[in-house]
Homo-oligomer: A and B are copies of this chain.
Amino acid sequence: MGHEFDTDTAVTEVSPGTFEAGMEEGWLVGAGVNGGYQLATVARALGALAPGKPHPLSITAHYLSATRPGPATITTRLVRDGGKVATVAGDLAQDGTGRITALATFGDLAALPDAPVRTTHVEPELPPVEECFSTSMAPEEVRRMAPLMDRFDMRIDPAYAGWSIGKPSGEGIIQAWFRLSGDRDLDPFSLLLVADALPPATFDLGMPGWAPTIELTVHLRAMPAPGWVKVRHETRNMAGGMFEEDAVIWDSAGRLVAQARQLARTPRPQ
């Protein structure tokens, strides 16, 4: 019996390069299936084309239309196998309608050299887990809208959670502790989920509402250590009806294991 993340992102090759997957309703947030969960599912199929290169080093998805719970078909294409890395592309569709299209270069995170390391990025400072706001404390109606929240344990830093009581910090930042439910440790595929699991940083600008992702790119930089990760989202440029959102994921060993950026649409005024 695998963990629900593994069974819910599993794909089955039904003909060369074509995979079937099921978009499970447990990953719904509002009317659509979470973008990071979709990305992880597509990545499973893409990885099958890159033997010996088990992890996406860089993966980009463009979101075409809202994915619904139900079956999906992923068609893939090996762009180039360069030996140590391979570049692959794929499209996820439901009933012939494109949902997301992705492009990735796979490699082996476990085979990367340990040195040199020069990191000037600073690990986010968060209060202890037990002093952060647990999403399991969210009101029943919020949890019904976002069953996704039952799939993991997220503890939001109170300093950037004021939007929940109408007092956003205005800085465009959200940060949280994160782990999957059931104490399953994170791996490179579940880090793709983590990169798009927090509420949009626009909440902290006083703009609640759904912020549809146009494009999301994740760089996986190291194998995550067991335990909680810290995730920080920040937007620094909301303009033209769009905003960028940068995400960093730090593991329990104090390593920057993933960097992500998305371009999303600004939520409509509510």
Contacts A64-B80, A91-B79 known; A172 to B120 CB distance under 8 Å? yes
Report the nearest B residue to A170, measured CB to CB. B118
Cβ proximity bits A108-120 to B, threshold 8 Å, 1 near / 0 not: 0100111011111
Q: Is A118's CB under 8 angstroms from B217's CB? A: no
A237 lies within 8 A of B119 (CB): yes
Q: Does A18 contact B (CB under 8 A)?
A: no
Q: B87 to A62, Cβ gap below 8 A?
A: yes
Identify which of residues 93-150 in chain A touch chain B, using a CB-to-CB cut-off of 8 Å. 98, 101-105, 109, 112-114, 116-121
CB distance from A5 to the nearest CB of B (A): 24
CA distance A96 to B69 in the complex (A): 40
Which residues of chain B are within 8 angstroms of A104 by Cβ–Cβ distance?
Answer: 62
Contacts A58-B62, A221-B239; is A215 near B105 (CB within 8 Å)? yes
Contact among B62, B65, B87, B238 for A105, CB-based, below 8 A = B62
Contact between B89 and A239, CB atoms less than 8 A apart: no
Which of A24-32, A38-46, A175-183, A240-248 sits within the interface? Answer: A240-248
A242 touches which of B64, B87, B215, B221 (Cβ 8 Å): B221
The answer to whether the Cβ of A211 comes within 8 Å of any Cβ in the partner chain is: no
Asked if B221 and A237 make an inter-chain contact with CB atoms under 8 angstroms apart, the answer reads yes
Task: Tell me which residues across on chain B come within 8 A of A82, comparing CB atoms.
Answer: 64-65
A101 with B119: CB separation less than 8 A: no
How many copies of the chain does the oligomer comprise? 2
How many A residues are at the interface, by size bracket? 35 or more
A212 CB → nearest B CB, Å: 11
Could you tell me if A238 and B171 are in contact, using CB atoms closer than 8 angstroms?
no
A87 touches B101 (CB 8 A): yes
Q: Out of B215, B240, B259, name the residue touching A221 (CB < 8 Å).
A: B240
Q: Measured between C-beta atoms, what is the minimum distance from A93 to chain B in Å?
A: 10
Q: A266 CB to closest chain B CB, in angstroms?
A: 8
**CB of A154 to closest CB in B, whole Å:** 24
Q: Is the CB–CB distance between B238 and A259 below 8 Å?
A: no
A261 to B85 Cα, complex, angstroms:
20
Taking a contact as CB atoms under 8 Å apart, the answer to whether B214 and A85 are in contact is yes
User: Are A112 and B64 CB-contacts (below 8 A) given A87-B101, A214-B105, A217-B217?
Assistant: no
Chain A residues within CB distance 8 Å of chain B: 57-58, 60, 62, 64-65, 79-80, 82, 85, 87, 89, 91, 98, 101-105, 109, 112-114, 116-121, 171-172, 205, 214-215, 217, 219, 221-222, 235-244, 255-256, 259, 261, 263, 266
